[in-house]
Amino acid sequence: MSKIELRLSDVEPPLPEPKRTIYRDIVNLPSTVKLGLTIRYFNHDDVDLYFQITGSGTGYTFGTVNLGLLASGADAYQNLDEFASRAKPSASDLPDGEMEENITLILKAYTDSGYSNLKWTYERIVTVHWINSTDAAFTVDELDNFDDGTVQGWAAVMEQNNDIGFPTIAVATDYVLSTQYSCKMTQQYTKDYTLSDLVAQVRSRLYKSFSTPNKTKVFAIIDVRISGTFSAGTYEVYQKDLKIQKNSDVLVFLGRGYDTVLNDYVPKNKWMRIVVPLPANTTIELRIIQEVLYRSYYTGLQTFNAWLWLDDFKLLSK
């Protein structure tokens, strides 16, 4: 086993890491596109090490992120927002609506906090699979843009710590990708806080069932935005993780597992596009799960909210 390791799945060492593919759709992206992902890195050495992540790939520009000290035998998650960028592929770059390329993620471990004494390097190749969802090769089997004023079959359910009647789901006009509506899930939690209990873990699920077509390839394109109430030094909501699931199977995990550290682990207040492959000719429940930490700085009754918006959801096949 290598002394350090980088993974993009929930498969635990020493089992081999499966091949990882990041799926992306070029439609309506800006001319320069950014790549973000969540990594999990391991220190199998017998000493504490300082970790750093960068990457390489034809046409890409990568940042370099110092991940800090990781204890011997420990592992950690890190979401890398806007970690890399490249010019958006053109439709002509995607014959028959698809194209694949490889990038290399480069994990380094140093013995010093100045990142000057390199001890280990670990590289992982990741495939980036581009699609053009407007290409004639694809059939749009489902388009949920909510512009008929309904939530189009989506529903919401509490997984942990919501007030009675929450989460709610409704069409909204405050943040949309296509005029005039998006779908908005609202989490709410009210608690009479004491000095010894000033945080709460809150988690909800937005979901819908689909019967996928009997085609060679099926994709779901999910555009989401997350946020929460925030008043610095009074009450705050921190975004811990965002999961896309097929039934109970995790397809995409962003952030890190719930903890009480007062940090956001998932980008908020911006639209994010997530593309996932789905099995053909079956019925599945697609789940979007938002988990947050509510933090109050004062005792007494406090009410918090967190939100998730969904718009222009597509189910494609080919």
CATH of the domain at 44: 2.60.40.10
Residues 74 and 206 reside in one and the same domain? no
Residues 154 and 216 reside in one and the same domain? yes
Residues 266 and 143 reside in one and the same domain? yes
Q: Does residue 181 contact residue 169 with C-beta atoms inside 8 Å? A: no
Residues 144 and 271 reside in one and the same domain? yes
Give yes or no for residue 262 having a pLDDT over 80: yes
Band the pLDDT of 272: cuts 50, 70, 90. very high
Residues 168 and 31 reside in one and the same domain? no
Residues 230 and 300 reside in one and the same domain? yes
- Of 67, 99, 131, the position where a domain reaches its end is 131
Place of tokens 């899930």: 185
> Which residue from 38, 49, 98, 54 is spatially nearest to 74, judged by alpha carbons?
49
User: What is the per-residue pLDDT across 33-53, written as a single tens digit (0 to 9) for each?
Assistant: 999 999 999 999 999 999 999
Residues 214 and 307 reside in one and the same domain? yes
Q: Does residue 43 contact residue 73 with C-beta atoms inside 8 Å? A: yes
pLDDT for 218: 98
Give yes or no for residue 1 having a pLDDT over 80: no
pLDDT for 196: 77
What pTM was estimated for this model as a whole? Answer: 0.95
Average pLDDT over residues 289-317: 94
How confident is the prediction for the chain on average, in pLDDT? 96
pLDDT for 156: 98
Q: What is the separation of C-alpha 77 from the centre of its chain, rounded to a whole number of angstroms? A: 12
Taking the C-alpha atoms of residue 291 and residue 242, their distance in angstroms, rounded to an integer, is: 6
Residues 163 and 294 reside in one and the same domain? yes
CB-based burial label for 117 (10 Å; 0-12, 13-18, 19+): exposed
Average pLDDT over residues 257-276: 95
User: What is the per-residue pLDDT across 88-103, written as a single tens digit (0 to 9) for each?
Assistant: 999 999 999 999 999 9
Average pLDDT over residues 206-222: 97
CATH of residue 145: 2.60.120.260
Q: Does residue 9 contact residue 20 with C-beta atoms inside 8 Å? A: yes
User: What is the per-residue pLDDT across 69-123, written as a single tens digit (0 to 9) for each?
Assistant: 999 999 999 999 999 999 999 999 999 999 999 999 999 999 999 999 999 999 9
User: What is the per-residue pLDDT across 152-198, written as a single tens digit (0 to 9) for each?
Assistant: 999 999 999 999 999 999 999 999 999 999 999 999 999 888 877 88
Taking the C-alpha atoms of residue 180 and residue 71, their distance in angstroms, rounded to an integer, is: 50
Give yes or no for residue 275 having a pLDDT over 90: yes
Average pLDDT over residues 217-234: 92
- HSE, side-chain direction, 13 A CA sphere, residue 89: 20
pLDDT for 271: 97
Residues 163 and 300 reside in one and the same domain? yes
Average pLDDT over residues 2-14: 92
pLDDT for 194: 86
- Of 131, 154, 183, the position where a domain reaches its end is 131
187-203 core/surface letters (b: 16 or more CB in 10 A; e: else) = bbbebebeeeebebbbb
Residues 153 and 235 reside in one and the same domain? yes
Which residues lie closer than 8 Å to 292 by C-beta, 6 or more apart? Answer: 187, 201, 202, 203, 228, 237, 238, 239, 240, 306
Q: Where in the sequence is the domain holding 290, given as residue range(s)?
A: 139-317
Residues 160 and 281 reside in one and the same domain? yes
- Of 131, 153, 169, the position where a domain reaches its end is 131
Residues 147 and 223 reside in one and the same domain? yes
Q: What's the number of domains the chain is made of?
A: 2
pLDDT for 10: 84
pLDDT for 168: 98
Taking the C-alpha atoms of residue 308 and residue 289, their distance in angstroms, rounded to an integer, is: 9
